[in-house]
Amino acid sequence: MTVHEAAVMEALERVIDPEIHRPLPDLGMIKGIDIDGGRVTVHVLLTTSGCPLRGTITADVQEEVGKVEGVEGVEVTMGVMDDDQKKALREKLTGHAEREIPFTKADSLTRVIAVTSGKGGVGKSSITANMAVALAGQGLKVGVLDADIYGFSLPRMLGITHEPQSIDGMIVPPIGTDGVKVISIGMFVPEGQPIIWRGPMLHRALQQFLADVFWGDLDVLLIDMPPGTGDVAISIAQLLPNAEILIVTTPQIAAAEVAERSGSIATQTRQRVIGVVENMAYLTQADGSRLEIFGSGGGDTVSAHLGALLGYQVPLLAQVPLDIALREGGDSGVPIASSTAAHHASPTATELRTLAAKLAEHSRGLAGRPLGVAPVRR
């Protein structure tokens, strides 16, 4: 039986790039197809010679082309795009030649949430990682920007095992647990090396992560902020003026007082504080009772005081209990709120998914945004 090139190309349309999430032919990654009887050779062009997913792409091509009637064997050869091909691909993906921040465009439907805290050690990054997988579990396309430049931890928490790929200066973010896209300065420095940067360098790094990274079509972008109200908070307010603020605190009153200051920045940046998360709220005992190790009332205090200061309701969205499995999930790269986590049905995981559901309810609408359609005259 004769194998037709059109049938092979149709099969290749079902092979999706693991990071860009587009069919290989659409990305210009198919250089050619050779057919010799029942033997088919597919020549693939990678975006970079060190592509860590070349094995996955090879296996997917062999699987799909192998299903074509008459095919007896599939060989895959790998080449690398030249500079012109990479430039054309970047322009095709971004829709423009110049770099710009897509989330500030008038037609952007991506909701941007900056997750912040007044001080370190309250579990802000853990909350961010778990919200990301919980939102992804609800069918949303989620990206995470690790803006905690000095204390980055999200690559490990979200199971990132390889470096980002670069296409003509455009960075393709690695895909973490449950399909979450992640970018962090931790992906660009040797393990154990500290980051010693001042304000202008921090601003430039954040600007690159927002403009030079191919985020694709996201429903939600979560930004894991450093604690406090320093340079990064100011830069994010300048670069993403429409970003909303979510505050993480603990029940301890001393921590809550500091958290209020991180929320009060909204009076100057004109950003909206959408709520408060109280982490480490309590420890559930064997008899079902709650042990409030860090006291109680911190989340309610932050909620009430910020509501009075800002002139609108700042709800307490969640009270997340202490849970060893929460820490274990972060260390293993599978957050507890993921459906694939061993303890995904625990009260802690349930509370985190409930938090994500509350945030998902307030997705950005289409009011006032161009839809790209025009009336048809009859």
What pLDDT score was predicted for residue 364?
52
Cβ atoms within 10 Å, residue 54 = 15
Cβ atoms within 10 Å, residue 270 = 9
The distance of Cα 260 from the centroid of its chain, to the nearest Å, equals 26
Containing H/E element for 171?
A: strand 170-172
Task: For residues 94 and 106, give the distance between their C-alpha atoms in angstroms, rounded to a whole number.
Answer: 16
State which amino acid sits at residue 60.
D
Strand partners, 320: 279
- Residue 263 · residue 249 · CB < 8 Å: no
CATH class (in words) of the domain with range 102-360: alpha beta
What pLDDT score was predicted for residue 101?
87
pTM of the predicted structure, to 2 decimals:
0.79
Maximum Cα–Cα distance across the chain: 77
The distance of Cα 5 from the centroid of its chain, to the nearest Å, equals 38
DSSP type of residue 278: E
Domain boundaries for CATH 3.30.300.130 within the chain? 5-81
- Residue 223 · residue 112 · CB < 8 Å: yes
Containing H/E element for 327?
A: helix 324-332
Task: For residues 261 and 232, give the distance between their C-alpha atoms in angstroms, rounded to a whole number.
Answer: 15
Domain boundaries for CATH 3.40.50.300 within the chain? 102-360
pLDDT tens over the chain, length 378 residues: 788 889 999 999 999 988 888 899 998 999 999 998 889 999 999 887 777 788 899 999 999 999 998 889 999 999 998 888 888 888 888 765 557 888 888 888 999 999 999 888 899 999 999 999 999 999 999 999 999 888 889 999 999 988 888 887 888 899 999 999 999 988 887 777 777 777 788 888 888 889 889 898 899 999 999 888 788 888 888 899 899 999 999 999 888 888 888 888 888 888 999 999 999 999 988 888 999 999 899 999 999 999 999 999 999 999 999 999 999 999 999 999 998 888 888 999 999 999 999 998 765 544 444 444 445 554
Task: For residues 308 and 18, give the distance between their C-alpha atoms in angstroms, rounded to a whole number.
Answer: 47
Strand partners, 181: 143, 175
The correct answer on CATH 3.40.50.300 for the domain covering 5-81 is no
Task: For residues 200 and 308, give the distance between their C-alpha atoms in angstroms, rounded to a whole number.
Answer: 34
Q: Using alpha carbons only, how large is the chain's radius of gyration in Å?
A: 23
- Residue 122 · residue 280 · CB < 8 Å: yes
